[in-house]
Amino acid sequence: MTRDEIVSMAKEAGLLGGPVFTQGLEHFAKLVRNDYSNKHAQLWLKRIDDAIQTEREACAKVCELLPLEWEDQPNIAQAELATKMDCAQAIRARGGEEARIKRLEKYLIRRTITI
């Protein structure tokens, strides 16, 4: 947390420009705690999301690299290839931005900080 962020929170809590009261100190502590908790949660959410994306891409690659069983029969081989690519595409689509936002919102709702 930067000095400016702390000063801004102290001003919001009424700690600067007037007498310091216990209530103001308590409010300031809550602001600092919430800010730290939110930043910490965002860091872990980013790490988790990155790991999910990496695993999802690895799974899609497995689909793409599956050997064709019927290479000697062009019509069947073409269908097999299309199925492999569709499978990989479906796996990657699960990691779209909309799905990621829903996961993050769901997590943050469960993680709501109460003071």
Average pLDDT over the chain, rounded to an integer: 79
Tens-place pLDDT, residues 59-104: 999 999 999 998 899 889 999 999 999 999 988 888 776 666 676 6
Given this model, what pLDDT does residue 104 score?
67
- Please, are residues 53 and 71 in contact by the beta-carbon 8 Å criterion? no
Q: How many CB atoms lie within 10 A of CB 48?
A: 13
Tens-place pLDDT, residues 37-46: 777 777 777 8
